[in-house]
Amino acid sequence: MKPIRIATRKSPLALWQANHVAALLERHFPGIRTELVQMTTRGDKMLDAPLAKVGGKGLFVKELEQGMLEGEADIAVHSMKDVPVEFPDGLHLAAILKREDPTDALVSNRFAGLDELPANARIGTSSLRRQCQIKQRFPNAEILQLRGNVNTRLAKLDAGDFDAVILASAGLIRLEMAGRIRERLDPAISLPAIGQGAIGIECRRDDAEINALFGVLHDSDTAVCVRAERAMNARLQGGCQVPIAGFAEKHGERLFMRGLVGAPDGSVIYRSESRDDLDRAEDLGRHIAEDLLAQGADRILAALYPG
Ligand SMILES: NCc1[nH]cc(CCC(=O)O)c1CC(=O)O
């Protein structure tokens, strides 16, 4: 069999994730070979623009999808957080891996945790979702733009540009930098992004050989949570550039989900939570979305998407 070509971005985290999938495939299917096809996405090129202004869905995945559609790669490995809810014709998710720690992490060289931060702390993040939740708790905090891959962001912190930065715990853990985490922020304080901590494997729908491989890597507990979260996002039309958070957890045979939509300045945050059966994951996500819209989230989202 020809090597399985894995499309990936070139950031250290993306390469870690692609190599992780390659190692899992080689472990489960002795004899299978893999090779990485490294690509640059529009999101990687526009590292200076504030993420909220760059816009466009699929900023970090489009080129990888194009590569698969053109036959240059067989699968793409993504952070589910970056994957739009709609797939291009011909592509779909083959598997979702078991979720890593889904929380946001506070990283600081000066302060031991969130409660130690001064009221006017300078906090680095380019995520409106993180910004609105931090601003609600610390109205006088100064939010400073922080783009680039995980290593770049830590270098900017170490250069003294910020009192603290907020990153996904999962990225730090995967890159063996968990020691830099000062506090894993409780979801009640910083509700994670849809899909945060989960890795997805995308491939061509009609590629039977490839599709057959991924059942063993699929984690159905993670998938049911991510399905609920993505159903919420589908209803809200959210991308990674809007202040939307959604996080589902499996408690026994039930799902518990929380969602929020906030104004970027933290002046108002609409929150919703609910429970439902596992086989109603998508209804649960849509229900949370409807509840948020009914509270007033539609006005926040309309202001962010003119037209
Ligand atoms: N926005 C980029 C991005 N996409 C996924 C992760 C982290 C890994 C994950 O969520 O699985 C990150 C970095 C971050 O938010 O700090």
Q: Which of 44, 48, 74, 82 is catalytic?
A: 82
Q: What is the ipTM of this complex?
A: 0.90
- Please check whether residue 199 is in contact with residue 168, taking contact to mean a CB–CB distance below 8 angstroms: no
What number of CA atoms fall less than 13 Å from residue 32's CA on the CB side?
A: 19
How many angstroms is it from 52 CA to the middle of ligand 1? 15
Cα(265)–Cα(262) distance, rounded to whole angstroms?
A: 8
Cα(87)–Cα(224) distance, rounded to whole angstroms?
A: 18
* Residues whose CB falls within 8 Å of the CB of residue 82, separated by 6 or more in sequence, listed in order: 43, 58, 59, 60, 61, 195, 240
Give me the domains of the chain, ranges plus CATH numbers: 4-98+198-218 (3.40.190.10), 104-185 (3.40.190.10), 235-304 (3.30.160.40)
Which ligand 1 atom is nearest residue 51's CA?
Answer: 1
Confidence grade of residue 302 (pLDDT, cut at 50, 70, 90): confident
pTM given for the model: 0.94
Query: What pLDDT, in 10s, does the model give residues 61-117?
Result: 999 999 999 999 999 999 999 999 999 999 999 999 999 999 999 999 999 999 999
Quick one: what percent of the chain has pLDDT higher than 70?
A: 95
How many angstroms is it from 32 CA to the middle of ligand 1? 29
- Please check whether residue 173 is in contact with residue 105, taking contact to mean a CB–CB distance below 8 angstroms: no
- Residue 82 a catalytic site member: yes
Confidence grade of residue 290 (pLDDT, cut at 50, 70, 90): very high
Quick one: what percent of the chain has pLDDT higher than 90?
A: 87
3-state secondary structure of 257: strand
228, 303, 240: which is closest to 272 by C-alpha?
228
34, 25, 31, 55: which is closest to 43 by C-alpha?
55
